[in-house]
Structures are given as C-alpha cells and as structure tokens.
C-alpha cells in the first residue's frame, strides 16, 4: 500500500491511499483519496499525525477513517475533512462538516439487511451475477412533496409488564398500603415478609387505617422475651424484584404509624438478605405521640449500592405497632415528578409527538370492576385505593395515576391521548341506555385535565400542584371494543361522542372501529388500528393503507408490532425489519394515517406478560430492543415533508422513503430504506429537483441497523446506543460504527454506500 500526503498553497491537505480491497474473494486495486482543510493558517505537522503505517487488509477504509480521525484528534483547531471537487473520494464527518453547510444536507439511513454477513466485506454489485437492484427516484423539490402530520410518531404507554408500577413510576415499595391482598381480613401482605419467627413476632392485617378508601393496615405484635430481640424483628418489602439503591443517593421514606406504647423503630434500606445496611433512620416516639395515626417522613442517604435491596421496618421493643402507606421514593426522579430517569430518557429519545395512555386492555379490564377508574387514582397518594389490573394480573398502588399521566405527557412535550373505558370490559358491558355514568366520568376526567382551577375537577388538579390546565386535545372511546361480541359499543360510542363534542368541540375523538377498508358509519376524527403479525406479514402490510379512502377520518395506528414466537421471539432484528417496512408504508400514507405508536413500550424483565416490547428493564438496567431502535429512524418524520418518490427494480423486499425537514435553520433530506430480502440488493437513489446553483451537498450521515443474524436480540450487556464504544456484530444496535466505515464517493456527484447485503448509490 502506498500513501501520499500533500499540502497545497491553500493549506489544504490531501491524503491519498492506494490499497487493495477484497472484492468477492479477489483482490482489487482501489485508489482512495481524501482532503482535509485547516481552519486557520497555522500549519499542522501532518506527517507525524498519521500512523506510521496504514494497515493493509480486508478493511482498508477503516484505516483511512482512523487516519483522518487521528488528524482531527491531534489538531488543536477544528479540522474538517470534506468533499473536494478535485478528488474522487471523501469522508465526511457530520459534526465538523456543519461548518460547510449551505442549504442541503443529505442523510442516508439504511435499515438493516435480512441475512447474516461475515465481517465487513465490500461487494461490487456490478460484478454480482445474480444482481438484485432497486432504484428510488426522488423528486427533492418540496413542491411535489406532502406535509407529514406534526403528530405522526408518538408512544403508547400501558400499565402492562410492570411498565409503571415497578418501572417508570419510581416508587420502590410494592403494595405500600397493604391493600393488594384484598379487603377481607386477615389478608396476604405479599410481597412484604416477616423478619423474625412466630415466637417473636405476629403480623396480621386489619381494617383500622385512617384512609377511608383503603382501610387495610398492618398490625405487628412484637413478643420478644426477657432477653429481647437484639437484632430486631419486623417486616421487609423487597420492592419490585429488588430495590435499586445507589451510594450517595437520597431516598424519601414516608409511613404512617400508630401504637399503644412507646416506639423505637429502625427504618432501613438493606441488601437483599438484610445482612448489609445501606441506610437507616430511627423513629422514636412516646405512646402519646403515636396513639393516633401519625405521618413520619425521613430522608435516607445510601452509603452503598445494591440493585436488589429491600426496605426493613424493625424493632427490638415489645408491643403493638400498626403501619400503613409505607413509601420509599428516590429523590432523584425526572424533575422530582416521580419518573425513573433512565426510562424517561428512553422515551425522550424517541421524540414522541403524543403519548397514548393508560392502556390497552388495562383500560377495559377483564371485568369492569377492575378497569382503570381515573377518579380513584387522583389526589394524595396515600388516599388512593389502588387496584388489581385483572388483564395483566398484577396489583398497582396507582401512584402513576390520571394526574401523573398528564404530567408525563407535559414533561415529554407530547400531546396527551387519554383512552377511557367505553362501558365495556372483556367479560361484561354496559348497555347504551345505562351508559350515562360512564360518560359523566369521561367528561369529569376531561375537566380534570383542562378545566380551569375553579372548576370542580380542575380544582383537584390545581390542588395537586398544576393550576394550569393540561392541553388535552385527543380522547379515545374504549380500546378494541368495536368487535361483534361487544354489542353496545357503537351505541355507547355515539353517546360519548355527542356529549364530548358538545362540551369540548375542539377535542378529537378516536373510534375503535376500523375504517381502513371501508368508511366508518359513524362520526369520528380518527379510528384506532391495531396490528400484531409475524415479521414478514407485517413487512408486506407496508401497503395496507395504499387504497384506503382519502376522505374519511385518519387512522391512528396506536398499536403495532411484529409478534410471533417463531420469528419475532423476544424482539429481534427480523421483527424490527418487518416493522421498518410497515412504518415506511405508514409514513408514505401519512395523508390517511395521522398517528402511529408501537406496543407495548416497556417490559420489566421479571414480568414477561407480553413480548416483544420496545424497552426492557430491571431495577437498575435497561436496553432497547431492535424495535426500539427502528423507531429512532423516524424521529425526524413528524412535521417533515414527504418527498415524492417512486421505486423500480427486481426486489419486492425493499421499502424506502425520502423526506425533507429543517433543523436549526438548515435543510435536510433523509432517505430510509429497508432490505427484508436475504440477498444483497443494490439500491440506487436518483434525485431530481435540486437547484444545482445554490445547493451544496455538505454532509452525509449513514445509520445502519443490522446484525450478524436476523434472530439477534439485544441484551442488558449492551445497554445503550453508544456508537463510540460498540463492537461490530452480534448486536442489532450496532448502528453508527458500521455506518462510518463504509462511506465512499466515487464520483463527484454520486455517493456510493456499500454494505454487505445492501449496496447503495445516490446521485444528485
């Protein structure tokens, strides 16, 4: 290999590398050249910046990139590598080439390839005998483009898989009010457990709580003999499969206590078996001080870290003590609003334009009595009764209630979409003649969100700390209720519709009935559309809305995912590619598809009620499944312009779209493509409509979602999409590093991007 480094009179350096590439098993000579420009006139000692030798091998472009990166890293000034009209190769760095920005950025995103690749291999499609190719012809002039709705991509939060309780809602204590075991006493206190044995402690529940809506309290009888219980007896709560306690962080513990005698109680955060104390405080009080229910609050600062920790309430003193509403909240939550920071950030990174909540089937309930009743989830947390979500089969203390969902939407900058019960659960339904109480509950719930602080329900919101109304503009009447067995849905829907439109004409109402194949027979602003299919089937549904009537209400694809035990498994690359194809179709049909969200969003790995999901977590760690990372390919779409494009070729397993958007005052064009085929496909992108006199292509960024096998899933071991540190292969988030490596411009006006299974050429 030969390298030549030159500096011309304009302080322009050029790096020229003659090397051999491995092309389909044969060595082939390639001539590569890049230029670099100093930002100021001080000269760079360029020759010493380069490695003594650029290694020759299968990946020469890595070496070239490394060399250029090294020049940059050793330069005191900004040092940009950019396209020069003299040369036939350039490597672009997004960050530094912003400085060269004039009017158009070209950003190329490639999404995945169906089959495995072995290391990095350059494939020259022109030499491939079995050539598969497609050409995407893009008209880049916005004139023929179409605006994409501002709210196209959002998220759907459902209390499923312990997404909220034991997840986004940072409360560490599970069953804090002892209500989970039911209202008939004595009841189970699970997951609380006893510290001590029968000879020293007896624990029962009774109905003596001071809170009217949750009467169950815990009574602890301590029976230590004359030698006492030196290490203390009591109860502990393991949280949701262990509490994440971190050294140096503070935890606010609140509890209600009552006793017939003096008390001396240790409140401690300990390791999972109690052997190590991470933080502790004493509650010492005279009988006269605690003869009635008394609220105690304390701040515990952890001196150690354990993500399987527990909360203990212990004493060495004989007597009767009652506890109720025991809470442990990390002080460090998003804005102190109670949302677990890392999970919240994962949502933010999707740039959601809306958030649909609180479910799903969770809204319906298996039985109406166990459905989500918003009025029982507002007000002081201590007074909320909590409820058993009988579809996903777990108890929630309802810390994440109606108010908190609106707060979440506001914190995310996403439009709230409230789904309320339509008088229908999985097993019972309310006939239309008797639906009025449900309608009133919905109207009250809307007033809670957007009524002024003097209104009946707006005042409850104001008392909770949010006098300003939340901007509620969308509601959904029920979830998946427009099925034949739910005979009252349409009748009920109309009563809700008329009442809401009368009181709030600007609110957009979402029907559960499907209008994708034929027009709805009732008024609605959107209709809900859910789809869970195997990956390939979902991919082929990219054309689902092509023939939908352009006149009726728009679709709200509020739940979609590739789901199949045999192909999508727990969320792999194949599922993500199927979803990518489907999403590209939705983006292209965004004149009739108004909103889109994946489902479900979260999964606590200890409660795999529904898989796959977008974000998997335990008490301390998380990762995005490939489905999560696919959604990040669409974060610029909402409010962008869909460019007119057509595709021709001989592969039916490629979907692509082109959009343009503005960011920080600059114009961008983004092309997304997915190859679902198990063969290499050459993708040519031809662009017309660019005004060559004032257009300068000044930066390119390629992002690839791919992996060694389409069955690859992500894991806690590779938690974040960190381009800088990621290794190649084996992880479907392996996006940016590969993207940086394979960037070749062969001709002045074309960009060729080569991937193992996807060969792309773009020309302007």
Complex with ligand AHR: residue 397 or 480, whichever CB lies closer: 480
Among 112, 239, 359, 581, binds ligand AHR (CB under 6 A): 359
Shortest distance (Å) from residue 514 CB to ligand AHR: 14
What are the structure tokens assigned to 393, written together?
A: 């089969």
Residue 527, judged by CB atoms within 10 A of its CB (0-12, 13-18, 19+), counts as buried
Site for ligand AHR contains 360 (CB under 6 A):
yes
Site for ligand AHR contains 158 (CB under 6 A):
yes
CA–CA distance, 202 with 92 (Å, rounded to integer): 71
Give the interface size with ligand AHR as a residue count (CB under 6 A): 12
CB atoms within 10 A of CB 280: 15
Contacts of ligand AHR in 539-578 (CB under 6 A): 559
What are the structure tokens assigned to 150, written together?
A: 């501002």
Site for ligand AHR contains 755 (CB under 6 A):
no
593 SS3 class: strand
Binding mask 453-482 for ligand AHR (x = CB under 6 A): --------------------------xx--
Site for ligand AHR contains 599 (CB under 6 A):
yes
Paired sense of beta strands 641-642 and 146-147, if any: antiparallel
Query: What are the CA-CA distances from residue 480 to residues 88, 160, 334, 483, 512 (Å)?
Result: 56, 16, 32, 7, 6
Helices 402-412/341-348 angle, 10° precision: 50
Stretch that binds ligand AHR, among 353-361, 486-494, 501-509, 627-635 (CB under 6 A): 353-361
Complex with ligand AHR: residue 178 or 529, whichever CB lies closer: 529
Stretch that binds ligand AHR, among 253-261, 357-365, 584-592, 639-647 (CB under 6 A): 357-365
What single string gives the DSSP state of each residue in 258-311? EESS-EEEEEEEE-TTS-SEEEEEEEEE-HHHHSS-EEEEEEEE-SS-EEEEEE
What are the structure tokens assigned to 378, written together?
A: 């507002």
CA–CA distance, 736 with 706 (Å, rounded to integer): 10
Task: Give Cβ neighbours of residue 342 (< 8 Å, ≥ 6 apart).
Answer: 617, 622
Q: Residue 263 pairs with which residues in a beta bridge?
A: 285
Site for ligand AHR contains 527 (CB under 6 A):
no
Contacts of ligand AHR in 479-498 (CB under 6 A): 479-480
Q: Residue 146 pairs with which residues in a beta bridge?
A: 642
Complex with ligand AHR: residue 611 or 711, whichever CB lies closer: 611
Stretch that binds ligand AHR, among 114-122, 139-147, 356-364, 546-554 (CB under 6 A): 356-364
Shortest distance (Å) from residue 562 CB to ligand AHR: 13
Shortest distance (Å) from residue 359 CB to ligand AHR: 5
Shortest distance (Å) from residue 434 CB to ligand AHR: 25
Among 15, 46, 313, 361, binds ligand AHR (CB under 6 A): 361
Shortest distance (Å) from residue 627 CB to ligand AHR: 12
Site for ligand AHR contains 600 (CB under 6 A):
yes
Contacts of ligand AHR in 313-352 (CB under 6 A): none
CA–CA distance, 173 with 192 (Å, rounded to integer): 9
Complex with ligand AHR: residue 480 or 713, whichever CB lies closer: 480
Complex with ligand AHR: residue 279 or 603, whichever CB lies closer: 603
323 SS3 class: strand
Stretch that binds ligand AHR, among 118-126, 249-257, 355-363, 572-580 (CB under 6 A): 355-363
Site for ligand AHR contains 358 (CB under 6 A):
no
Sign of CA dihedral 388, 394, 396, 402: negative
- Residue 644 CA, chain-centre distance (Å), reads 30
Contacts of ligand AHR in 606-665 (CB under 6 A): 610
Shortest distance (Å) from residue 494 CB to ligand AHR: 22
What are the structure tokens assigned to 33, written together?
A: 């050249």
Sign of CA dihedral 343, 345, 349, 354: positive
Complex with ligand AHR: residue 79 or 617, whichever CB lies closer: 617
Shortest distance (Å) from residue 362 CB to ligand AHR: 6
Paired sense of beta strands 615-617 and 602-604, if any: parallel
Q: Which residues bind ligand AHR (CB under 6 A)?
A: 158, 160, 359-361, 479-480, 530, 559, 599-600, 610
């Amino acid at each position: 290999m030969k390298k030549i480094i030159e500096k011309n009179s304009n302080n322009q350096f050029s790096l020229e590398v003659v090397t051999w590439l491995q092309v389909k098993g044969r060595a082939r000579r390639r001539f590569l050249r890049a230029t670099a420009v100093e930002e100021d006139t001080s000269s760079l000692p360029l020759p010493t910046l380069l490695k003594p030798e650029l290694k020759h091998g299968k990946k020469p472009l890595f070496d070239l990139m490394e060399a250029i990166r090294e020049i940059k890293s050793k330069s005191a000034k900004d040092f940009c590598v950019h396209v020069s009209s003299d040369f036939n190769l350039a490597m672009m760095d997004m960050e530094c080439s912003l400085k060269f920005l004039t009017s158009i950025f070209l950003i190329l995103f490639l999404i995945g390839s169906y089959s495995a690749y072995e290391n990095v291999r350059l494939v020259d499609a022109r030499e491939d005998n079995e050539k598969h190719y497609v050409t995407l012809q893009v008209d880049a002039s916005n004139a023929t483009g179409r605006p994409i709705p501002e709210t196209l991509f959002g998220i759907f939060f459902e209390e499923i898989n312990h997404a909220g309780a034991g997840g986004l809602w940072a409360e560490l204590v599970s069953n804090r009010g002892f209500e989970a075991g039911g209202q008939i006493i004595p009841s189970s206190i699970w997951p609380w457990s006893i510290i001590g044995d029968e000879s020293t402690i007896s624990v029962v529940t009774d109905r003596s709580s001071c809170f009217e809506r949750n009467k169950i309290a815990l009574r602890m009888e301590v029976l230590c003999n004359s030698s006492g219980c030196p290490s203390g007896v009591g109860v502990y709560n393991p949280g949701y499969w262990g509490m994440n306690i971190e050294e140096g962080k503070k935890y606010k513990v609140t509890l209600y206590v009552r006793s017939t005698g003096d008390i001396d109680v240790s409140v401690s955060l300990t390791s999972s078996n109690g052997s190590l104390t991470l933080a502790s405080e004493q509650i010492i009080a005279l009988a006269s001080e605690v003869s009635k229910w008394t609220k105690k609050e304390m701040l515990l600062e952890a001196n150690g870290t354990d993500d399987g920790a527990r909360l203990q309430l212990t004493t060495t003193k004989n007597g009767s003590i009652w506890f109720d509403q025991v809470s442990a909240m990390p002080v460090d939550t998003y804005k102190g609003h109670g949302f677990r920071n890392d999970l919240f950030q994962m949502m933010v990174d999707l740039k959601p334009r809306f958030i649909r909540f609180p479910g799903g089937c969770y809204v319906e309930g298996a039985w109406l009595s166990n459905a989500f009743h918003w009025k029982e989830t507002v007000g002081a947390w201590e007074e909320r009764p909590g409820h058993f979500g009988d579809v996903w089969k777990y108890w929630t203390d309802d810390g994440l209630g109606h108010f908190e969902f609106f707060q979440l939407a506001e914190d995310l900058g996403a439009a709230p979409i409230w789904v309320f019960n339509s008088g229908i659960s999985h097993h019972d339904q309310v006939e239309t003649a008797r639906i009025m109480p449900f309608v009133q509950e919905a109207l009250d719930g809307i007033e809670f969100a957007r009524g002024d602080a003097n209104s009946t329900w707006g005042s409850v919101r104001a008392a909770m700390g949010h006098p300003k109304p939340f901007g509620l503009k969308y509601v959904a009447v029920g979830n998946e209720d427009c099925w034949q067995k739910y005979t009252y849905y349409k009748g009920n829907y109309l009563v809700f519709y008329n009442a809401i439109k009368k009181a709030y004409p600007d609110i957009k109402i979402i029907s559960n009935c499907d209008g994708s194949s034929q027009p709805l027979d009732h008024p609605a602003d959107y209709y809900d559309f859910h789809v869970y299919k195997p990956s390939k089937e979902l991919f082929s549904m990219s054309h689902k809305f092509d023939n939908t009537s352009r006149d009726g209400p728009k679709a709200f694809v509020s739940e979609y995912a590739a789901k199949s035990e045999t192909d999508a498994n727990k969320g792999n690359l194949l599922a993500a590619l199927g979803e990518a194809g489907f999403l590209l179709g939705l983006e292209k049909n965004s004149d009739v598809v108004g909103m889109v969200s994946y489902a479900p969003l979260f999964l606590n790995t200890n409660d795999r009620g529904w898989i796959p999901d977008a974000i998997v977590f335990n008490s301390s760690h998380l990762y995005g499944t490939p489905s999560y990372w696919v959604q990040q390919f669409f974060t610029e779409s909402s409010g962008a312009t869909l460019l007119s494009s057509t595709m021709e070729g001989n592969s039916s397993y490629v979907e692509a779209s082109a959009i343009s958007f503005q960011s920080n005052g600059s114009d961008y064009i983004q092309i997304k493509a997915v190859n679902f085929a198990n063969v290499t496909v050459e993708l040519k992108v031809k662009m017309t409509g660019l005004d060559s006199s004032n257009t300068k292509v000044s930066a390119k960024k390629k992002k690839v979602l791919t992996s060694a096998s389409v069955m690859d899933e992500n894991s806690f071991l590779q938690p974040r999409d960190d381009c800088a540190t990621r290794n190649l292969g084996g992880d479907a988030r392996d996006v940016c590093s590969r993207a940086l490596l394979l960037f070749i411009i062969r001709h002045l006006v074309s960009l060729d991007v080569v991937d193992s299974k996807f060969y792309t050429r773009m020309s302007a």
